[in-house]
Amino acid sequence: MLLVTVLGTGDYQEATYQLQDGDTCRRCRTRLFPTALAEWFAPERVLVLLTPEALEHDNWRALQAALGERAEPVLIPIGRNERELWEVFDLLVKRVPAKARLLFDVTHGFRALPLFAVTAALFLHRVRDVTIERVLYGAYEARDAAGNAPVFDLTPLVDLIDWLSGIEALVQSGNGQLLAQRLGETQRHQWRRGNGHAKPRRLQRVGKALGTFSTAVQLNRPREALTAARTVVNTIADAQEELALWVRPFALLAQEIADEVAAIAHHEPDRLTRANLQAQLALIDYALTKGLVLQAVTLAREWLVSWYILERFPENAERWLHPEIRDQAERALNNGARKLREGAAIAWQIPERRVFQLWDQLGQLRNDLAHCGMRPQNQRPEPEQVRARAEKLVNQVRQVLRAV
């Protein structure tokens, strides 16, 4: 483990620092908080950020004597302007190796130096797979009459960045994998730490449900997505108290997520009904709002096949998933679309004309997307036109269900 700390020129006074770590209370009496961390966590190396003035101060000599060869000075500018603060960032990034386990101490920092140090650590966490074990602050100013000073664990504030990334991925693109990972890690971490009898038991279930749902959406599995959406709604409802207690950043958004996927949730995904088709339409809308245009268009085309089976071949509705039944419906739609292109009178009957037109246009757009636009320039839409065309076609799909 690597400890990163900041040391200044202040007149630091002794206190008995106390860290409540799960079921254990760690205690150490010292005037230099980094020595307490060195005693509690036994880091192999200690990077000490020092301004030129701090490098010549007795505080550094005392810390060096206490830590011995583990203490490594990192000379930094005082941070009087933005340029110097970014120099601190660069220096720390260069000194921390990839995949390191990092313990951060922000107790004796000066001005904005701790903030930039933690920012650098977050950068390393993302690009070099650095693990931020803890971010701790020895609150000398909060000591009691006996001189006992609490140690505040600020790690949840750093974790917030990861939560925000996961939330953004789900909200913007429907990818729940990061949140699934964070929820599972939080549950496992709390079980390792102890925390008496209060341990989360449902967080991992919520994460698994989100991961399964987002995978089903991304892989174009509507039946699985309908089932997974129902599981998401139920597991979030069951885990409300735990979410509020253990993962507050996600808890604030959890109900919104449940509400968003509720329209997709369906208890009979393998039975072809109008309710099933309505849920699949909600899934198509969801995919489109998340920027998953290829998925939305592909799903819409398959939706039209399912709708046609239910409306025109109801005797085959129980076998709607069989390839021969779907092939039959596709042949009928292809035949109608061909007659429409040829100007046959029968194709202009309502509602068949609208359905055949829509089938033809969906097929063209689906083929363009599925074949990665490998067509002559005059036969394919420009990338910026694809989403608008998809939205228009999906809106027509909605009208088909309403019209019958």
* Residue 113 domain-assigned (yes or no): yes
Q: What is the dihedral of CA 183, 184, 187, 191, to 10 degrees?
A: -160
pLDDT at residue 350 in the model: 53
Last residue of a domain, one of 265, 299, 326: 265
| Highest-pLDDT range among 92-101, 251-260, 337-346 | 251-260
* Residue 149 domain-assigned (yes or no): yes
Last residue of a domain, one of 250, 265, 280: 265
Print the domain residue range for 123: 2-153
Task: List CB contacts of 378: < 8 A, sequence separation 6 or more.
Answer: none
- The mean pLDDT value for 338-345 works out to 79
* Residue 202 domain-assigned (yes or no): yes
* Residue 298 domain-assigned (yes or no): yes
Report DSSP state, residue 318. Answer: G
Q: Are residues 149 and 169 in the same domain?
A: no
* Residue 365 domain-assigned (yes or no): no
Q: Are residues 126 and 31 in the same domain?
A: yes
Q: In this model, does residue 349 exceed pLDDT 70? A: no
Last residue of a domain, one of 321, 338, 353: 353
Q: Are residues 108 and 67 in the same domain?
A: yes
- pLDDT tens column, 288-341: 999 999 999 999 999 999 999 999 999 999 999 999 999 999 999 999 888 888
pLDDT at residue 403 in the model: 64
Q: Are residues 7 and 64 in the same domain?
A: yes
- pLDDT tens column, 136-160: 989 888 989 888 999 998 887 777 7
Spatial strand order in the sheet of 45-50: 24-30, 15-21, 148-153, 131-138, 101-105, 2-6, 45-50, 71-75
Quick one: pLDDT band at residue 197, thresholds 50, 70, 90? Answer: low
Domains: count for the chain: 3
Residue 22 is which amino acid?
G
Q: Are residues 242 and 313 in the same domain?
A: no
CATH of the domain at 74: 3.40.50.10640
pTM: 0.76
Question: Which among 381, 341, 377, 385 is positioned nearest to 359, based on CA atoms?
Answer: 341
* Residue 313 domain-assigned (yes or no): yes
Give 152 or 82, the one with higher predicted confidence.
152
Q: Are residues 187 and 136 in the same domain?
A: no
Quick one: pLDDT band at residue 394, thresholds 50, 70, 90? Answer: very high
CB-based contact 262:279 (threshold 8 Å): no
* Residue 361 domain-assigned (yes or no): no
